[in-house]
Structure 1
Amino acid sequence: MSTVPGFHNPEIFEALPNARLSPTARDVFDVLTARQEAGGLVHIRQKDIAKRLDISQAAVSRAIGQLKDKGILDGRHRQGTVLIHPLMAAYESFAHMVNHLQDPNTFVWPLNFPTGDMRPPRTSDARVDTDFDPDPDGGEDAPAPESRPTLRLAG
């Protein structure tokens, strides 16, 4: 029996919101990550995902298409299997992940969403293109109160 993959690259999952996945695509991705083998290979049919999520097979197909468009899934595998991007796959350990990624036979394709530190603003964010400044004092500490208020017990 093989070891259940349990190690994920936490940094890439912090960038996952930048992919701006639909809720259905995120649900499908969660099902796939839960059922993957070490290294990201998943044996599952769209029909089974649809049944698990109680949605139509067409919705699953659209979600998988979105995951492939973002580079999260590799689209070159045969029917009934998908491959999660090696940077987002689960591994048995950190060493297993490093060895897999450094193996010249491991195909690492580009992710099609920003993976840097900055998350782009949501298009529905009302503060975009306004004078709103979430940190007007430039990060300076707030002044301490002159005196502490007297505390008393209620009763």
Structure 2
Amino acid sequence: MSTPGFHNPEIFEVLPNARLSPTARDVFDVLTARQEPGGLVRIRQQELAKRLGIAQGHVSRAIGQLRDKGLIEGRQRHGSVLIHPLLAGYESLAHMVNHLQDPATFVWPLNFPTGDIRPPRSGDPRTDTDFDPDPDGGEDAPAPEARPNLRLAG
């Protein structure tokens, strides 16, 4: 199984515009570190809470904020989430382009400004730290049982 090594760098430049809470940003960092190519992440909220050392209620609120901003799919499957295709990791640039052009890929709207780039909050406690969203060193995600069926909004 290959690991997602290519990310769309331009979309990550506007991620501060989403104005995520520090907890939501930490949860998103863990999700992006644990994703399969194309953005599917198999992880339970209990595991996220344990990994970040916070209560599961905080993780649940952070997941809600990520969903409200459009960073993850609104329909959460039990134990898995789908990162927005523009923010997902891919095997290569060609894999990303093919996935985004596939008519079966559902690309939902992002609910934050993606124009001008805003700097991160000055009070972000992770600034100038060595925060590691995946302290286990990037262990392999479980092998996918089946690719999710994605639909194009229309």
**TM-score of the two chains, using structure 1 as the length reference:** 0.75
Q: 1:34 to 1:118 in 2, by over 3 A?
A: closer
Identify the residue that residue 52 of structure 2 maps to in structure 1: 53
Is 2:30 the counterpart of 1:35? no
Whichever of the two has the greater Rg, that structure is 1
1:64-118 deviation digits (Å, cap 9, x = unpaired): 0000000000021311000000000000000000000000000000000011134
The share of aligned pairs that are identical, in percent, is 79
Partner of 1:8: 7
1:69 corresponds to: 68
Q: Which runs of 4+ in 1 moved over 4 A?
A: none
Q: 1:36 to 1:120 in 2, by over 3 A?
A: closer
With structure 2 as the length reference, what TM-score do the two structures score? Answer: 0.76
Which residue in the other structure is 1:99 paired with? 98
- Aligned counterparts of 2:99 and 2:54: Cα–Cα separation in 1: 34
With CA pairs under 8 Å and 6+ residues apart, which has the higher RCO, 1 or 2?
A: 2
- Root mean square deviation, CA, Å: 1.7
Pairs aligned (count): 122
Label 1:25 to 1:121 Cα distance change in 2 as closer, same or farther (>3 A). closer
Give the secondary structure class of the aligned counterpart of 1:77.
coil
